[in-house]
Amino acid sequence: KPLSSQEAIRLNQVGFYPNASKIAVVVGENKGGKFFVKTADGSKTVFTGQLSEVKAAELSGKPTRVADFSGFSGNGFYVLEVPGVGKSYPFEIKSQVHGPVAAAAIKGFYFQRTAIDLPEKYAGKWHRPAGHPDDKVLVHPSAASAQRPAGTVISSTKGWYDAGDYNKYIVNSGITMGTLLSSYEDFPKFYAAQKLNIPESGNTVPDLLDEALWNLRWMLTMQDPNDGGVYHKLTNPAFDGMVMPHEATKPRYVVQKGTGAALNFAAVMAQASRVYKNFPKAFPGLADSCLTAATKAWEWAQKNPNVAYEQDAMNKSFDPDVTTGTYGDRDFSDERLWAAAELYTTTQQDSYYQAVNMLPDAKMPLPSWAQVRLLGYYTLLRNKNQKGAAQKDLPEIRKRLLQSADDMVTGAASASYRMVMGRAKEDYVWGSSSVAANQGVLLVQAYQLTGDKKYLQAALSNLDYLLGRNAVGYSFVTGFGEKSTMRPHHRPSIADNVAEPVPGLLSGGTNGNANKQDKCEGYTATSPDEMYLDADCSYAANEIAINWNAPLVYLTGAMEALQQQ
């Protein structure tokens, strides 16, 4: 089926900052050198430009041309017109153009809350009854201890649903909370002013931190007070059907403790202690409780340095079998590094820093749920004035981070889509949208260190990617853009009888192996950057998840906070 002109002209469907770069990519073989920016009603041409030469897209080989209208900065609603192709979706140029998507990305976490009604007042047409109170959760035999034998009932309430499923996983809460708390630590003024219309919006605390607290409170309950160990996850034995949360009432378990859970927990609690310490009146005692919890989990992990969560092995020994998400990392060196960096920064004790090798090799692996080294580096660089053991390594960490950022910038300038995302086909993995967002976060860190705007511009190119300038022409953020994800693998969005999906959620997006992984019918792509299907069965390309929304929060918030600079 031939593409409509709107589908053929790929651009950020939300819009552009007046003084930022503005790029559209036109796919197809059409010739013709000029393009026009017109007022949205088509009546007036406000800018005329020249399309670039045709270039084959790196992965698909499809012909692309670039329309660069960065030279135009007038506020308003516009369309791009390409002779021989037609008109684009309408878009807006104004300052704070990403303010609504930045807010919605955090509000997306509110919609993931367990154990509380979402009334219409806050949730609009997506209001729903509370699901999963989790006040009576069973200790799974894999997690049994002398003090808490199998079948012990504990309360482990609150928290967010991880994704399109209804379980709560400590490992994935780690990177999610770390990224959200870092958003606040990097841009406190921006978040102090932001209003999200959540139940706590009236209090004295930034809404972002109120929202994050919902999950922090749950995480605290996942620590066994008897030994400091942390359960890997709170889960049903098997995934629920596509039903509303309150209709999913099967028994829930906490399963085996593990090193990954303990270290993710320690890192988050140490960082949270630092952040919530600024709000002693609102949350008396919270910062101290977090730090105590962090040190206990750290100590457990020191005594148990290599306890992986091996679900298959667990199922051979214990009943009931558990078949939900594994988050089965086996290498804890990066988690240990991150936890040490957070504990060192919060306590100012060199012993934490010295407990790990902070520079195990020269790699700067992009953050993901299984790889959190850079979260530690970001924290060390953010607190670069702290006197202590880190001082000797900071120049090297800074150099490596800037080297990564420079590689990204260089690649973006020559890419057919003029973006950082997709320089290698490996970027298109399960949850690739978070790859784009996390590249953006790294670039913002580089900007914070140097003040060099080329990093901001490169970060923005990846936000443009997420909002429509990509090889499938979708905005991957629900509720934003004329052609955005409509049928995410997200149980409430599918079961609620509301046509529009819950807004502000980031689809995992294009995934080169999605067709083989979820075997959903309808994939037509032949190249990895095009492997996307907006269907609820496509859980490998169209699920949503908290660890993907978090870097979207960071990137959109950073762009809003920094756009005037």
Judged by CB, which is closer to ligand 9MR: 70, or 513?
Answer: 513
Q: Does 543 bind ligand 9MR (CB under 6 A)?
A: yes
CB 433, min distance to ligand 9MR, A: 11
Q: Does 427 bind ligand 9MR (CB under 6 A)?
A: no
Q: Does 163 bind ligand 9MR (CB under 6 A)?
A: yes
DSSP run (H or E) holding 450? helix 432-450
Closest to 27 in 3D by CA, of 47, 2, 49: 2
CB 244, min distance to ligand 9MR, A: 18
SS (H, E, C) 127-195: CECCCCCCCCEEECHHHCCCCCCCCCEECCCCCECCECCCCEEHHHHHHHHHHHHHHHHHCHHHHHHCC
CB 320, min distance to ligand 9MR, A: 18
Q: Token match 């919605």: residue?
A: 104
CB 489, min distance to ligand 9MR, A: 8
Give the whole-angstrom CA distance, residue 150 versus residue 320.
11
Residue of 134, 534, 536, 560 marked active site: 534
Judged by CB, which is closer to ligand 9MR: 89, or 169?
Answer: 169
Cis peptide before 320 (omega within 30 of 0): yes
Neighbours of 130 (CB within 10 A): 13
Residue of 240, 334, 543, 560 marked active site: 543
Closest to 544 in 3D by CA, of 498, 495, 486: 486
Q: Token match 């906490």: residue?
A: 254
Q: Does 97 bind ligand 9MR (CB under 6 A)?
A: no
Q: Does 430 bind ligand 9MR (CB under 6 A)?
A: yes
Candidates 10-18, 159-167, 260-268, 406-414; binding stretch for ligand 9MR (CB under 6 A): 159-167
518 is catalytic: no
Judged by CB, which is closer to ligand 9MR: 160, or 554?
Answer: 160
Give the whole-angstrom CA distance, residue 233 versus residue 309.
10
User: What is the footprint of ligand 9MR within residues 317-346 (CB under 6 A)?
Assistant: 325, 327
Judged by CB, which is closer to ligand 9MR: 52, or 326?
Answer: 326
Q: Are 270 and 237 in contact (CB under 8 A)?
A: no
Q: Does 431 bind ligand 9MR (CB under 6 A)?
A: yes
CB 162, min distance to ligand 9MR, A: 5
Give the whole-angstrom CA distance, residue 466 versus residue 476.
6
27 strand-pairing partners:
64
Q: Under rule CB under 6 A, how many of the chain's residues touch ligand 9MR?
A: 10
Task: Give the x/- contact pattern for ligand 9MR in 339-378, rule: CB under 6 A.
Answer: ------------------------------x---------
Q: Are 222 and 257 in contact (CB under 8 A)?
A: no
Q: Are 80 and 69 in contact (CB under 8 A)?
A: yes
CB 431, min distance to ligand 9MR, A: 5
Catalytic residue numbers?
534, 543
Interface residue list for ligand 9MR (CB under 6 A): 162-163, 165, 325, 327, 369, 430-431, 543, 545
